[in-house]
Structure 1
Amino acid sequence: MKVLVTDPIADAGLAYLRDQGHEVETAYDLTQSELLDAVGDANALIVRSGTEVTDEVFDAAPELIIVGRAGIGVDNIDIDAATDHGVIVANAPQGNVRAAAEHTVAMTFATARSIPQAHARLSNGEWAKGDFLGTELNDKTLGVVGFGRVGQEVAKRLGSLGMDLVAFDPYISEERADQLGAELVDDIDACLDRADFLTIHTPLTSETENMISDDELAQLEDGYVINCARGGIVDEPALASAVEDGILQGAAVDVFAEEPVDPDNPLLDVEDVIVTPHLGASTSAAQENVAVSTAEQVVAAFNDEPVLNALNAPSVDKSAFPRIQPYIDLADTAGEIAVQLFDDRVEEVEITYAGDIADEDVELVTASALKGVFEPLEWQVNAVNAPRIAEDRGIDVIESKSRSAEDFQSLVTVTVSNDDDSISVCGTQFAGNDPRIVRIDGYRVDAVPRGHMLVARNEDSPGVIGFIGSVLGEADINIAGMFNGRETIGGEALSVYTLDDPVPDEVLTRLNEDGRIIKTTYISLNGA
């Protein structure tokens, strides 16, 4: 097999591929036209962040089996196009975790003690001992926003140095936080209010872009910010102003919204802001780890073996696939609905199979259900990496089976819960690949899961359904389908509306202002 490597990786990865008997061609700094020519007969493509792997590249590479990203970020790879072309995309998310954590710790010390600034002054012949009064980390509080792999490694290291740990992450269990000596708080404001030092370890998504801006920085008065995660999470002009105006004592930044960084970036002009050029993964050990990990996944793909860090390649026995295929998307949808209805921290996910589906190998269906639950967390999540995300975040996953399926041939139920609350969503398949949601939190319903849904808990009294319909109609939101379920006459009811349009916040507010409405939840499915 031929492997094309278009960005430099450690020699250990290249050697592993050659030792396995594969041809390796290195071609760096290619133009897009040159890349299209070079990839034509490649079976695997290995890149870092310098190569843009577009739909055009996949069109030009009919023999391509896998794209390996020697690192974690895959912003430069069109994963949807890869999937359309049947190409696996795999990254190496663990190889540089330790390096990123250690760089974060180094940046924390550097900003707390003004090490680069003091070095610069002394190098220029100035003995400025009296100008630098540092901050000790001992007995200070470290706020960690994003308690995944890197965040946990940072917490271990700084916690052992005497820092108190406060973490905010809606998708980490209290048990996992307790294991690491961290107090888990319910919202980012609580984390900011407590933190003397704030370190960020979340992916960059539409939800996290500029998540830390003027108001958040004001809550950290006299504190420090360290960002070695992704550029764009912290509002750079706001951070520069906060440090320059004395609201913060200092900051350390390794990542930028635009890289290479613009020379006019305001962070570069503030003395108490330490900057490094995205060095978090730049250690020889980390580079060797990600190179070998990527090479191993390429070889696994060549051998038709599981690709551990594949981002788009769920697998199952070919003969069993037709029987479970209809339930893969159904489980994903049930998970999406459940987590959007569950307004609390998820600590446990249970997937229950009843009826004929219980006789099948449902590992892939379970993973798909987890994908649906975790979809709001990380845009990279899929049926392959969802179980690992659950493990990393200490979320218990329970799979159970039963031969009895009430009135259905097969039934899949996804339940999300913590010690205080839970919610369940049940789905089935009717003949002809017709997915239905048939029970929500114990209420019998019959809803076709599609792009936009409104779930309303309300009093079972005359006029409520008409009121909801009128409000939606006045907002020019078309109702495609509706089902009302209740347990007792005059008690509480649950109604599900399948809609052609999204529901704006102001419409939800108007609905919830009515005394007969207990709660309404707008649900978007499949990226709608």
Structure 2
Amino acid sequence: MKVLVTDPIADAGLDVLRDAGHEVETGYELEGADLLEAVADANALIVRSGTEVTREVLEAADDLVIVGRAGIGVDNIDIDAATDEGVIVANAPEGNVRAAAEHTVAMTFAAARSIPQAHVRLKGGEWAKSDYLGAELNGKTLGIVGLGRVGQEVAKKLDSLGMDLVAFDPYISQERADRLGAQLVELEDCLERADFLTIHTPLTPETEGMISDDELEMLEGGYLVNVGRGGIVDEEALARKVEDGTLEGAALDVFAEEPLPEGSPLLGVDDVIVTPHLGASTEAAQENVATSTAEQVVAALEGEPVMNALNAPSVDESAFPRIEPYIGLAETAGKVAAQLLEGRIEGVEVTYEGDIADEDVELVTASALKGVFEPLEWQVNAVNAPQIAEDRGVEVTESKTHQAADFQSLVSVTVSDGDEDISVDGTLFAGDDPRIVRVDGFRVDAIPHGRMVITRNTDEPGVIGLIGSVMGDYDVNIAGMFNARETIGGEALTVYNVDSEVPDAAREELESDERIIGVRYITLNGQA
């Protein structure tokens, strides 16, 4: 079969393809009409960041089975269009883990000992030995924000150098952290205790600008290192805090805008070290990425599972119509449950009752996990969600029963932090109309869509009126309301569908009333 490679990859990857018997065609300058012509008879396409894989490109390739991205980022690939065309999109997220971790360690040493600054001055003829009094890593505390693959590798390397480890990651289990020798803490505690802070969390709406003036003040006297994603650290605030002495120094390999603009405030601060996104720039990393991508292409062309597919469900074709409506339902239940649980997720249980228990529900369970992890993990989907759970030490259980008390089929997603758990149950009305029918044991009939507010309060007169009044004061329109209670005068739970974002101030005002036990704002369907 023909594999078209339009961006340079390591020869090791090309060898994997040829050894499998495939024809490899390279076209590193292809674009426009030439790209459309070249891809027309291709069975697989391998790209890096240089080729834009648009809907037009995908529609021109009738025989295309897979697009392999030799790297992690897929911003240049129209995944929705690929899905529409039945084309698998796969990336190589693990090939550069070691390289990124090693660069993090290198940048940590560079910041601690002012290596680049001293180098430049000595090259310029200055013997500035007395100007640089460095910090040793041994005995210092390393704060890690994001304990995923790279964060875990950094933890192992710096733990071996005698550092104490604290980490902030709401989606890693305590057991996995214990294995790494890291203490899980909240973000504020992580910042206040850290002598060195490294960042390895994906860039999401929740993490964008997460480290700014207030957070940097908590890191007073420390160093910040970011080889993860640009945009998580407020670069102007960081430049100020290093320049005014709040921080001892910083080292960054990634930036909100790349290439880094000439006018960036980071460039004017001597104790801020910058490198041009070199985290994955090692020969070994490039070979790993190339071979990983090639192996996935070979698997797809041979009809085998693709480990890092971003959009490819795996289920028997004849069974798919029966489980398809439950895929979105399970994902939604997972999203709601995860956003309701305030603690760190240690376990996820997915339970099937009634007719759905007769089906192969592996894909449905994976979709529930996708919903649970989506607020955190970049590019999570039903294919890679189980691996994310394994990487983070989250225990996943699946159970079935053919008995369903009130419904023909019921899907329940329960998330637990080890002490507390939250369950969200869903079903389908009229075959394909999803409903949330139970939240933490409270019976409701809620439409899972858009923006939702879930309140818990004492069951007494005037509380629902108060909630409606406060929502109105903040110009939040209530589109629907579904109420349940334990007993008369006991605890009540209400689900509100709302038309706009609920400001923090509105939630704070509600929670200041002693009758309100808690208010949670839930977003679904890509809403903010």
**Normalized against structure 2, the TM-score is what?**
0.95
Q: Distance in 2 between matches of 1:55 and 1:488?
A: 55
Give the equivalent residue in structure 1 for 2:301: 302
* Segment of structure 1 superposing worse, 232-241 or 84-93: 232-241
Give the equivalent residue in structure 2 for 1:129: 129
Structure 2, unaligned runs of 5 or more: none
Shift of 1:497: 2.4
Q: Distance in 1 between matches of 2:267 and 2:463?
A: 58
Q: Residues 90-119 of structure 1, C-alpha deviation per residue, up to 9 Å, x if partnerless?
A: 111111101111111111111211222222
Q: Distance in 2 between matches of 1:232 and 1:202?
A: 11
Q: Residues 415-464 of structure 1, C-alpha deviation per residue, up to 9 Å, x if partnerless?
A: 01122211101111222312221111111112221222222212222333
Q: Residues 325-350 of structure 1, C-alpha deviation per residue, up to 9 Å, x if partnerless?
A: 12111111111111111122111111
Query: What SS does the aligned partner of 1:350 have?
Result: strand
Alignment pair present for 1:420 and 2:419: yes
Query: What SS does the aligned partner of 1:399 have?
Result: strand
Q: 1:275 to 1:479 in 2, by over 3 A?
A: closer
Query: What SS does the aligned partner of 1:299 have?
Result: helix
Alignment pair present for 1:39 and 2:39: yes
Shift of 1:277: 1.6
Q: 1:131 to 1:498 in 2, by over 3 A?
A: closer
Alignment pair present for 1:491 and 2:490: yes
Q: 1:443 to 1:29 in 2, by over 3 A?
A: same
Alignment of 1:111-260 (within 5 A): 111-186=111-186, 188-260=187-259
The letter of the residue matching 2:84 is D
* Segment of structure 1 superposing worse, 157-166 or 461-470: 461-470
Q: Distance in 1 between matches of 2:498 and 2:247?
A: 47
Alignment pair present for 1:435 and 2:434: yes
Q: Distance in 2 between matches of 1:213 and 1:462?
A: 43
Contact between 2:204 and 2:376, CA under 8 Å: does it hold in 1? no
Shift of 1:471: 4.2
Give the equivalent residue in structure 1 for 2:375: 376
Q: 1:527 to 1:26 in 2, by over 3 A?
A: same
Contact between 2:350 and 2:398, CA under 8 Å: does it hold in 1? yes
Query: What SS does the aligned partner of 1:77 have?
Result: coil
Q: How many correspondences in the alignment?
A: 527
Q: 1:478 to 1:277 in 2, by over 3 A?
A: closer
Shift of 1:15: 1.1
Alignment of 1:343-492 (within 5 A): 343-472=342-471, 477-492=476-491
Q: 1:32 to 1:214 in 2, by over 3 A?
A: farther
The letter of the residue matching 2:183 is E
Give the equivalent residue in structure 2 for 1:102: 102
* Segment of structure 1 superposing worse, 456-465 or 18-27: 456-465
Q: Distance in 2 between matches of 1:478 and 1:120?
A: 60
Contact between 2:227 and 2:252, CA under 8 Å: does it hold in 1? yes
Q: Distance in 2 between matches of 1:511 and 1:373?
A: 26
Give the equivalent residue in structure 1 for 2:56: 56
Q: 1:482 to 1:258 in 2, by over 3 A?
A: closer
Q: Distance in 2 between matches of 1:470 and 1:106?
A: 55
Query: What SS does the aligned partner of 2:46 have?
Result: strand
Shift of 1:473: 5.0
Q: Distance in 2 between matches of 1:96 and 1:499?
A: 42
Q: Residues 276-310 of structure 1, C-alpha deviation per residue, up to 9 Å, x if partnerless?
A: 22111111111111101101111111122111001
Shift of 1:140: 0.5
Contact between 2:337 and 2:372, CA under 8 Å: does it hold in 1? yes
Q: 1:497 to 1:83 in 2, by over 3 A?
A: same
* Segment of structure 1 superposing worse, 298-307 or 143-152: 298-307
Shift of 1:386: 0.7
Q: 1:102 to 1:460 in 2, by over 3 A?
A: same
Q: 1:246 to 1:482 in 2, by over 3 A?
A: closer
Q: Residues 200-245 of structure 1, C-alpha deviation per residue, up to 9 Å, x if partnerless?
A: 1011122222222222222222211111111222222222232233
Shift of 1:494: 1.3
Shift of 1:472: 4.0
Shift of 1:43: 2.1
Q: Distance in 2 between matches of 1:466 and 1:210?
A: 36
Query: What SS does the aligned partner of 2:40 have?
Result: helix
Shift of 1:254: 1.2
Query: What SS does the aligned partner of 1:352 have?
Result: strand
Query: What SS does the aligned partner of 1:41 have?
Result: coil
Q: Residues 394-414 of structure 1, C-alpha deviation per residue, up to 9 Å, x if partnerless?
A: 111111112221121211110
Query: What SS does the aligned partner of 1:526 have?
Result: coil
Q: Percent identity?
A: 75
Give the equivalent residue in structure 1 for 2:88: 88
Q: Distance in 2 between matches of 1:498 and 1:232?
A: 31
Q: 1:203 to 1:29 in 2, by over 3 A?
A: farther
Q: Distance in 1 between matches of 2:259 and 2:475?
A: 46
Q: Residues 115-173 of structure 1, C-alpha deviation per residue, up to 9 Å, x if partnerless?
A: 22222222333322222211110000111011100000001000010001010011111
Q: 1:469 to 1:258 in 2, by over 3 A?
A: closer
**Normalized against structure 1, the TM-score is what?**
0.95
Q: 1:436 to 1:146 in 2, by over 3 A?
A: same
Q: Distance in 1 between matches of 2:516 and 2:170?
A: 27
Q: Distance in 2 between matches of 1:447 and 1:385?
A: 29
Q: Distance in 1 between matches of 2:11 and 2:417?
A: 47
The letter of the residue matching 1:197 is F
Q: Distance in 2 between matches of 1:179 and 1:3?
A: 42
The letter of the residue matching 1:149 is R
Give the equivalent residue in structure 2 for 1:67: 67
Q: Distance in 2 between matches of 1:454 and 1:208?
A: 22
Query: What SS does the aligned partner of 1:105 have?
Result: helix
Structure 1, unaligned runs of 5 or more: none
Q: Distance in 1 between matches of 2:256 and 2:475?
A: 38
Q: Residues 339-388 of structure 1, C-alpha deviation per residue, up to 9 Å, x if partnerless?
A: 11112211111111112222221111110001111111124111111111
Contact between 2:203 and 2:378, CA under 8 Å: does it hold in 1? no
Q: Distance in 2 between matches of 1:217 and 1:275?
A: 18
Q: Distance in 2 between matches of 1:239 and 1:470?
A: 41
* Segment of structure 1 superposing worse, 271-280 or 325-334: 271-280
Q: Distance in 2 between matches of 1:254 and 1:358?
A: 49
* Segment of structure 1 superposing worse, 194-203 or 260-269: 260-269
Q: Distance in 2 between matches of 1:519 and 1:157?
A: 41
Q: Distance in 1 between matches of 2:40 and 2:260?
A: 34
Q: Distance in 2 between matches of 1:132 and 1:359?
A: 69
CA RMSD in angstroms comes to: 1.9
